[in-house]
Amino acid sequence: MLTFSRDRIASLKAAAVGAIALFVTRLAFDITQGTTIAQPDLWIGTALCGGVFGLTYRYVLRQESDIHLSTGAIAAFTIARAAGQWEGLQASNDAIIWSDLLQQLAIGHWQSLVPLATTIGFLAIANGIPFVIAALAIELAFDRGWVARSPSDRRSEPWA
């Protein structure tokens, strides 16, 4: 019979909290934006991403309450997810659009950057807010004792 240590169970709990928080936040965000929610593969990906975030967040913070570690973890996941969506947008559009943008910039029409900056800003906000809410949910789970923080020194209980 396979037995799990308390640390592994706490990691699974943190992953579950992260998955649920990110899933619910993205669902609420997409409903308010009028985006279609009938794409189960996107929701599975969102839940998996939230689970990995919860697991990583627990191990990054360990016993500390360092704002730099917390915001760094949120920023890393936000940038990675937004960059993936940016690549998807770029691949779905014609290369003509991108070459036209470069031509406009080459002749000094900097106002053509406004739609690009707007898109990048939207991706950062649309991906950042759900990770902030997921981090708050995990912190709440830590504070309530639902999820144990990761030990600060793994060598203290190697087989626990």
Q: In this structure, are residues 148 and 17 in contact, taking their beta carbons and an 8 Å threshold?
A: no
What pLDDT is recorded for position 76? 92
Asked whether residue 158 is domain-assigned, the answer is no
Flag whether pLDDT at 13 surpasses 90.
yes
Asked whether residue 48 is domain-assigned, the answer is yes
Asked whether residue 36 is domain-assigned, the answer is yes
Flag whether pLDDT at 12 surpasses 70.
yes
Confidence grade of residue 142 (pLDDT, cut at 50, 70, 90): very high
What pLDDT is recorded for position 14? 94
Tell me the pLDDT tens digit for each residue of 63-109: 777 788 889 999 999 999 888 877 776 666 655 566 676 777 778 77
Give the Cα separation of 148 and 44 in Å (integer).
26
Give the Cα separation of 146 and 37 in Å (integer).
30
| Tally of domains within the chain | 1
What pLDDT is recorded for position 98? 63
Q: In this structure, are residues 82 and 124 in contact, taking their beta carbons and an 8 Å threshold?
A: yes
Which residue segment(s) compose the domain that 65 sits in? Answer: 6-151
**Ramachandran quadrant class, 36 (left: phi over 0; alpha: psi -120 to 50; beta: rest):** beta
What pLDDT is recorded for position 94? 53
Asked whether residue 160 is domain-assigned, the answer is no
Tell me the pLDDT tens digit for each residue of 20-63: 999 999 888 878 877 766 677 777 888 999 999 999 999 888 77
